[in-house]
Chain A
Amino acid sequence: GENVEQHPSTLSVQEGDSAVIKCTYSDSASNYFPWYKQELGKRPQLIIDIRSNVGEKKDQRIAVTLNKTAKHFSLHITETQPEDSAVYFCAGFYSGGGADGLTFGKGTHLIIQP
């Protein structure tokens, strides 16, 4: 199966600064890595994802990088804004041995300080 570790558990940054959240995964067969944002009291929503055949993907202020050799991937948010405050979850998709599904990290509570 897959094990996903996420750090840090809490991250506080000044508005306008950048935020970086890091995740590592255990199974080299994992090939899909989405990031979800969950605002307080709301459902998780996909914000960006990356596949193992790509090293980096960017969508406006959000980018994700993947290092397959080191088995880690990171979420980068630039020019942070108050609405970026939320819990962010990384996940890895494992397919094989009859077990298919996303394994999530424990989440990072991102706090944007005004």
Chain B
Amino acid sequence: ETGVTQTPRHLVMGMTNKKSLKCEQHLGHNAMYWYKQSAKKPLELMFVYNFKEQTENNSVPSRFSPECPNSSHLFLHLHTLQPEDSALYLCASSQGLAGVQAKNIQYFGAGTRLSVL
């Protein structure tokens, strides 16, 4: 375990459903990230939060809505998804923004495997 927990591990939803993915980190980190992993784009950055503020929205469709209520929790709210959104969604966290300082290594959660029918 890396200290980054994602729930649920698996999720199947219809295109009209609304669901949320949850990420929680117990590492005292200040930065959190959402990535999408699929066969087409193996590790694609979606959102970055630093001290609860969103610093990066990597041209993600509005049907994905992130929420970061505090530095330990990160949500990804899903609505009216498309079948091509089926993928593994990975959460990660780091002490500070990854790359800015040597200590800011990203630790990944185990991911949520999402299937959109």
Residues of A within 8 A of B (CB): 31-32, 34, 36, 42-46, 49, 51, 87, 89, 91, 93, 95, 98-107
Distance (whole angstroms) from the CB of B110 to the closest CB of chain A: 5
Chain B residues positioned under 8 Å from A93 (CB to CB): 98-99
Main secondary structure on chain A at its contact with chain B? Answer: strand
Note all chain A residues with C-beta closer than 8 A to B44.
104
B108 touches A100 (CB 8 A): no
Kindly identify which residue among B50, B97, B111 contacts A43, using a CB–CB cutoff of 8 Å.
B111
* Interface assignment of B81: CB less than 8 Å from any CB of chain A: no
| Contact of A102 with B108 in the complex, beta carbons under 8 Å | no
Contacts of B11 in A (CB 8 A): none
Chain B positions 100 through 116: 1 when the CB is less than 8 Å from some CB of chain A, otherwise 0: 10100111111100000
A49 to B33, CA, bound (A): 19
Give Cα distance in the complex from A51 to B109, angstroms: 24
Q: Which of A45, A91, A101: most chain B Cβ within 10 A?
A: A101
Q: How far is the CA of A47 from the CA of B24 in the complex (A)?
A: 23
Cα distance A46–B100 in the bound complex, in angstroms: 16
Picked from A42, A49, A89, A99, the residue with its CB within 8 Å of the CB of B105 is A49
Contact indicator A31/B99 (Cβ below 8 Å): yes
CA distance A99 to B97 in the complex (A): 11
CA distance A43 to B33 in the complex (A): 14
B41–A101 CB distance below 8 A? no
Q: Is B45 an interface residue (CB 8 A)?
A: yes
Which residues of chain A are within 8 angstroms of B48 by Cβ–Cβ distance? Answer: 100-101
Contact A43 B45 (CB under 8 A): no
